[in-house]
Amino acid sequence: MKKQISWQTLALILASLVLFNGVMLFAHLWQNHWWLGVAVNAALLVALVEYVGRWIPGRFQRIYDLVLAIGFPILLLLVWETMARNNILNPRWFPPPSRIAVALWQLSTQVDKFSHTSLWGRPWLIPQRFLSQGWPGVVALFAEGHVWVTLMRVFVGFVLGAIPGIFVGMLMGMNRTIRTMLDTTMSAVYVLPKIAIFPIVMLMFANPFGEGPKIAVVAISAFFLVAINTMTGVRDIDPVYIQAARNYGANRWQLFRHVIFPGALPVIFAGMRLALGTALIVIVAIEFIRAKKGVGFLTFYYWEVMVTEKMYAGLFVIMFLGVILTYGLQRLERRIMPWR
């Protein structure tokens, strides 16, 4: 079902774009009316993309969506690049993306003086290390890279928080007494910024500067999000499913395994998505203030020594980690819940 093409409209939109930007440029309006420029350009761009989108046949729609989803951030980067190169943006604070990319490459391939490792460790040493120390040596090589350190903290903390979170949330969802007793406390602790309890958590560990307290705070953050969502998921199960299960002879364990757990799973996953995002936020914050390794540490370090392109490189790596982790969880979700 393709709609008729109207070249006139398309030409009109394109002409408006060119004309508007020409006027803005030659009348030197950008300086004081940049907000107008941004607003009108954004509106015209949306109009253009949407108009073109109408001609895209249904089977190419997904590809077109993908092009838009990837194309827009690239466009933003291009705008940033031009503005930084022409000194519209101060390149000291907003270095052009091309320089950030170079910085990212340097961070990945060169070891820094203070941590003697790169973002990803020193993979170029793998063959040599494998010959001398075997697999443990290889693992140690990986474990030293900033990205892996951060990922390990996020992952271990997340798992250590989510599993008890699911357990406690289940109990709260199924048992009224437990729920009534815990609900207020949970809601109160839930709103507390978890980074605020980091100093106390440090004191609870034999080695306050080791991995223990960092992972613990991530776990605590994940725990509350997952627990509260699991409880909601259990409580939102339509009672008719529970009646049906009982009517068909399910015992307590079967009721849990066949109805309550799968019934709550969608909301549990929603909670885990939130928890994973929060885990990343928390760990970066902790690495800012107290860590010798990790992407957050690297980012903050280069901010302190004013190498801004490397700081931005760190920020981009953090965003990239967020996207990858969320995507991984989504894949897992589709595997575990094929009925959705």
Partner 1 sequence: MAAKIIAKEVRKIYDTPQGEVIALQHFDLEVEEGEFVCIVGPSGCGKSTFLRILAGLEDQTAGQVTIIPGKEPGKPLNNVVFQEYAIFPWKTVIDNVAFGLEMHGMPKQKRLQIARRWLERVGLGRFAQYYPHQISGGMKQRVSIARALANDPEVLLMDEPLGALDAQTRAVLQEELLRIWEETRKTVVYITHSIEEAVLLGDRVFLMTAHPGVNKATFDVDIPRPRTLATQSSREFRQLTLAIWELLKDEVMRAMEAQR
Task: Report how far apart the first and last C-alpha atoms of the chain are (Å, whole number).
Answer: 28
Residue 259 sits in the site that holds partner 1 (CB under 8 A): yes
Of 212, 262, 277, 322, the residue at the interface with partner 1 (CB under 8 A) is 262
What is the C-alpha to C-alpha distance for residues 165 and 222, in angstroms, rounded to an integer?
8
What is the C-alpha to C-alpha distance for residues 287 and 295, in angstroms, rounded to an integer?
8
Residue 253 sits in the site that holds partner 1 (CB under 8 A): no
Of 33, 179, 235, 246, the residue at the interface with partner 1 (CB under 8 A) is 246
Which of 272, 271, 286, 290 is closest to 318 using CA atoms? 286
Cβ distance 122 to 111 under 8 Å?
Answer: yes
Number of residues that bind partner 1 (CB under 8 A): 22
Residue 265 sits in the site that holds partner 1 (CB under 8 A): yes
Which is nearer to partner 1, 135 or 248 (by Cβ)? 248
Task: Please count the other Cβ atoms lying within 10 Å of the Cβ belonging to residue 5.
Answer: 12
Of 51, 241, 256, 316, the residue at the interface with partner 1 (CB under 8 A) is 241
- From 142-150, 211-219, 237-245, 280-288, span contacting partner 1 (CB under 8 A): 237-245
Q: What is the DSSP letter of 292?
A: S
Q: Minimum CB separation from partner 1 for residue 249, in Å?
A: 4
Which is nearer to partner 1, 135 or 339 (by Cβ)? 339
Of 57, 58, 73, 249, the residue at the interface with partner 1 (CB under 8 A) is 249
Of 122, 179, 235, 258, the residue at the interface with partner 1 (CB under 8 A) is 258
Residue written as token pair 């399910």: 250
Cβ distance 54 to 3 under 8 Å?
Answer: yes
The long-range contacts involving 251-257, CB below 8 angstroms and separated by at least 24 positions, are 256/170, 256/174
Binding footprint of partner 1 on the chain (CB under 8 A): 238, 240-241, 243-251, 254, 258-259, 262-263, 265, 337-340
